[in-house]
Structure 1
Amino acid sequence: MPVHDDRLLFEYLILEGAQAGLSWETVLKKRENYRAAFDNFEPAVVAKYKARKQAALLLNPGIIRNRLKIASAVKNAQAFLDVQAEFGTFDAYIWKFVNGKPLQNKIREPGDVLAKTAESDAMSKDLKRRGFNFVGSTICYAFMQAVGMVNDHFVSCFRHLELK
């Protein structure tokens, strides 16, 4: 489903980065723990996390305890706020990569699902330029799928037609 809420977009961005190298199921099982640990993914709060808070997160068994991913969440929150200041909302910025409407793919079998696209490449490059971490093209494409920027439901799935 297309997501246009900045707080939720930030949540998905952080969770996609946390998922890097792991199964999405691992992150989904920890999603509520992440919400509690990361102050409901409020970017302005996360952006102010200092070393003590980051150290406490490393001890939290309810989340993925990776120093680089935790530090990245803080850095990404700061960059997220910068994007909001420049564009008014993160939503206005991020949806420009698909011209404001979801891309409609025609997935017929598992081999048709893409891992990255020209759009995710462009998004990754621009996010990195703006100071974001854990935003490689594959992570960006997974983010695009999660927030409805691409319709990758199988054409045989009832959701494909609903989201078209």
Structure 2
Amino acid sequence: MTERCGWCGSDPLYVLYHDTEWGVPERDPRALWEKLILDGFQAGLSWITILRKRENFRKAFAGFDPDIIARWGEDDIARLLLDAGIVRSRAKIAATIDNARAYLRLAEGPGFDQFLWRHVDGRPIRNRFRRLDEVPAATPLSERISKDLRQAGFRFCGPVITYAFMQAVGMVNDHLVSCPAHERVARLA
């Protein structure tokens, strides 16, 4: 019997995200960066909260353009703290600005995509979990990637956030084996 991963429930937005986006290998550096930022904002909240606000985040954060965000300062933080369409956390907003600067530093070298995907030799890890309770919150690999991100100047990227990010961008295929998306995502890898 095949059934969708239970974590997305029946909310149409969540189901669409699960079916079309979550776990699909992402290689575009800017898309990867946006997803890392959104996963950082999700800390302490549910992912559906962030998903419902994603378009507001894109507007508030200039389409997640790191060249623009890296130049922001206190006035921009104050402006964003008044925006009810996003999660208004000074620490997370300030971290996004710092993360834009870190992203641009990496872009001068191998690039953000290469920086991330080298941790899995460019190929997604295909897990074969049968139940949601088997899926870890963090792994030794997410701890290592988190450490590398922090050394590169990123914030709000602890091992749990990093593992959620790895799942979202398809660095690991954590769709349950009973989920139709498991094989579909594996073929994309």
Q: Which residue of 2 aligns with 1:82?
A: 105
* Match in the other structure for 2:143: 121
The yes-or-no answer on 1:31 pairing with 2:54 is yes
Is 1:92 equivalent to 2:114 in the alignment?
yes
Q: Scaled by the length of structure 1, what TM-score is found?
A: 0.97
Deviation at 1:110, TM superposition (A): 1.2
Q: How far does residue 119 in structure 1 lie from its aligned partner after superposition?
A: 1.2
Question: Match of 2:70?
Answer: 47
Q: CA RMSD in A?
A: 0.7
In the alignment, what sits opposite 1:153?
175
In structure 2, give the amino acid aligned to 1:105: N
Helix, strand or coil for the counterpart of 1:108? coil
Q: Deviations over 1:12-56 (max 9, x none)?
A: 010000000111111111000000000000111111112111110
2:28 corresponds to 1:5: yes
Deviant stretches of 4+, over 3 Å: none
State the shift of 1:145 in Å: 0.6
| 1:126-137 alignment runs, 5 A limit | 126-137=148-159
Structure 2: how far apart are the matches of 1:97 and 1:45?
28
1:69 matched residue in structure 2: 92
> Where in structure 2 are there 5+ consecutive unaligned residues?
1-23
Name the % identity.
49
**Inter-partner Cα distance in structure 2 for 1:10 and 1:110:** 27
1 CA distance for matches of 2:62 and 2:117?
Answer: 25
Q: Distance in 2 between matches of 1:36 and 1:162?
A: 31
Instruction: Tell me the residue number matched to 1:14.
Output: 37
Aligned length: 163
Q: Distance in 2 between matches of 1:150 and 1:113?
A: 11
Question: Greater relative contact order (Cα 8 A, min sep 6): structure 1 or 2?
Answer: 2
Q: Which amino acid aligns with 2:151?
A: R
Gaps of 5+ in 1: none
